[in-house]
Structures are given as structure tokens and as C-alpha cells.
Amino acid sequence: MDLKFDNRTPVYLQLIDYFKQVITSEEMALGEELPSRRELASRLKINPNTVQRAFKEMEETGLIVTERNLPSKVTSDKQIIKQLREELINDAVDELIETVQSVNVPLEDLLQLVKQKYQ
Amino acid sequence: MIEVKHIQKKFGRKTVLKDISFHAKEGHITCLIGINGSGKTTILKSIMNLMSVNRGEILIDGHQFTEAMYEKVAYVPDVLTMPLHMKIKDVFQFMRDFYKSWNDQRADELLTFFKLDKNERLKNLSKGNLAKANMLFGLALDVDYILLDEPFSGIDMFSREQIANVFTTDLVEGRGVILTTHEIHDIEYLIDEVVLLNNGFVVNQFNVEQMREEQGKSIVDVMREVLV
């Protein structure tokens, strides 16, 4: 688990982004158990309260599921993962468009370049 | 919660603490940051009632300091105060005799965590291991609050890392910690609250995650604004 934090962005959000990424990329499988909060805090050298907050948010959005006294697990709901994938792709495309629009790249050129580089 | 309310402290004509107010919650790590001579140690000693203040008051869970608080709040000074010819296990005995809150089981867990040998004499420990032992004697007390004075100063980076790691374990979790430092690099992602001190005043108290979220600033960004 290699995670470098940026000290100007809330750590709990960076942790959520990390999990979104490993879940959508299927590095973590549906229903897979997450490390315990304390283990994560210890491994990443971050505040256990911060990990707790990230878990709480992920539970609220349904990304992870925690049953009483059991380790948290990645959701088994494919719909949630699908939605997350769409969100992630959308955000990435929005960001790309914003960047290239600021330097006035025509759509055709952009598409061509994307096709060329995508392989 | 530990509440420090408008305390003032003079040494002779010099007013070291002019008007200091802040609070530290249970389950949170609160970090007092200030340059050398900004009165960090004086604040910790005042909380422990080892030093009287000229003005203001300090409340621990809503109460003023009494003798019984020494079982509720632990203070780890920056330099170990035990006689150096003692072995670690002798200090354990010493602490057991003095404090009802001494927890032998936790002490052993901490020994393992810090990889210390209880048959070792204090005078034979390296500086880093001495700092770890010092911290161990405080953390092994079953207290609600732990005050740590400069736990990272003057020791090598691996020892610093090991000491920082203890904050992510159940050996500390759930208790209130107040620590002082002038170097936040090792603990940037570990602390909940920051209290910035300058010239005898608290110039800012903030929650670190909230500061990142609402203003996109790191601890050092805020320090630079108010201290430089």
C-alpha cells in the first residue's frame, strides 16, 4: 500500500480517493475485507480518528459495509461500483477538458491525440 | 477535556505567558507549537500544578487540580528524571509504588513495542532508547490525559518514527494527548489540533483536517502566516 499524502488536502479525503481507486480498478475485489482501522492508521502513520472518519464516510456512501464486530468489507453491490466508475471517468474527462480548453485545443486534435496515446 | 483559561505567568519581571487559552479533548492529539522560549513547558507544568500561575485557571474535566489528578493526568518531561543507575524494571517498581494507575501489562506491551530490555540500566541506554523509556513510563499509566514535553527533540529519525508510531496504536488511542514541539514534520498526519504560541499568546487554535478542508492550508502554511 503506497500512499503519499499531500499536506494541504484533508487526509480522510485522500484515503477515500485511494479506496475508490483500488476498488474501481479491481485491485480490491467485491466483498473483500479491509484492514482494521488501527492497522491502517499504523501502516500509513496517520491519526486513527482520520481513518475512522474516512470509513464512516465510505459506509455512508455505501462503498464499504461494516457489520457489528466484523471487519469492514468492500460493498458487493455492483451498481455502486458501476456508479463510482462512471463518476471517476467523468471527473477525469472534466479535468482533461478544462486543461485543454484553457490552451484552445480544437476537439478534433484532442480526440486524435487521445486515440493515438490511448494504446 | 483540559481547559486552559486566560493564564498568565511571570518570572520576575518577565511575563512568559501573557494570556493563554486553549482546550484539549480526550481522544485527540493536541500539539502546542511555538519557537524555543515561547512557554510551552511552562504551560505543561502549570496544567500539572507543578507551578502556580499569576492569573487565570485550568480545568480538567471541569474540575480544578487536586492531588487525585496525578492519577488522571501524566506528565512526561523532556528529560528523564529517574536516577540513571536504575534498571528499567526498577523504575517499574518505583512507578508501581507511587501510582495506583500504573499498568504492568501495558508497560510490558510498550517494552515490546519499543524493543527495550527491562534489565538494562538507564545509564547504558542510547539517547533514543532513553527517550523511548521516558515515554514508556508515562504511557504505562492508566490515565485519561498524557502531557509530553518535546518527545522528539534531539533523537535520531528512526527513534522519532518509532515514537510517532505509538500514537497510532491502542497504547495511546482514546486518551487525550498534549504534546509540545517546534518541529512538526514527523507528526503532521498524526495530530488533531494545533495550538500556535507566540510571544506569550495563543495566536491560533485549529483542527488540522478542518484547516486543510476549509482553507487548503497545511500546518506549516498557517505557522508561516502567524509566526514569521
Return the SS3 of A89: helix
pLDDT tens for B124-176 read 999 999 999 999 999 999 999 999 999 988 788 898 988 999 999 888 888 99
pLDDT reading at B228 higher than 90: no
pLDDT at B62: 96
pLDDT digit string (tens) for B1-55? 999 999 999 999 999 999 999 999 999 999 999 887 889 999 999 999 999 999 9
**Which residues in chain B touch residue A53, judged by CB atoms under 8 angstroms apart?**
209
**Does the model's ipTM exceed the 0.85 cut?**
no
Chain A partners of B28 at a C-beta cutoff of 8 Å? 49
For residues B211-224, average pLDDT: 94
Q: Is B28 on the interface with A (CB under 8 A)?
A: yes
Confirm if B115 and B44 have CB atoms less than 8 A apart: no
Interface test with A, best of B160, B162, B166, B168 (most A CBs within 10 A): B168
Phi then psi for residue B59, to 5 deg, are: -115, 140
Contacts with B217 from chain A: Cβ below 8 Å: 8
Q: Touching check for B189 and chain A: CB below 8 Å?
A: yes
pLDDT at B227: 80
Q: What confidence tier does B196 reach under pLDDT thresholds 50, 70, 90? A: very high
Cβ of B157 under 8 Å from any chain A Cβ? no
pLDDT digits (tens, 9 = 90+) for A38-83: 899 999 999 999 999 999 999 999 999 998 888 999 999 999 999 9
Q: Which helix (H) or strand (E) holds A73?
A: strand A73-74
What does the H/E/C string look like for B62-95?
CECCCHHHHHCEEEECCCCCCCCCCEHHHHHHHH
Residue B69 scores a pLDDT above 80: yes
- B209: left (phi > 0), else alpha (psi -120 to 50), else beta? alpha
Residues 79-98 of B with CB under 8 A from A: none
Say if B163 is an interface residue toward chain A (CB within 8 Å): no
Partner B contacted by A4 (CB < 8 A): no
What b/e sequence results for B103-115 when a residue is b if at least 16 CB atoms lie within 10 Å of its CB, and e otherwise? beebbebbbebbe
Interhelix angle B219-227/B208-215, nearest 10 degrees: 90
Q: What are phi and psi of A100, to 5 degrees?
A: -75, -30
Contact B168 A12 (CB under 8 A): no
User: What does the block give as the cell for B138?
Assistant: 508515562
**Which residues in chain A are closer than 8 Å to B190, comparing Cβ atoms?**
45-47
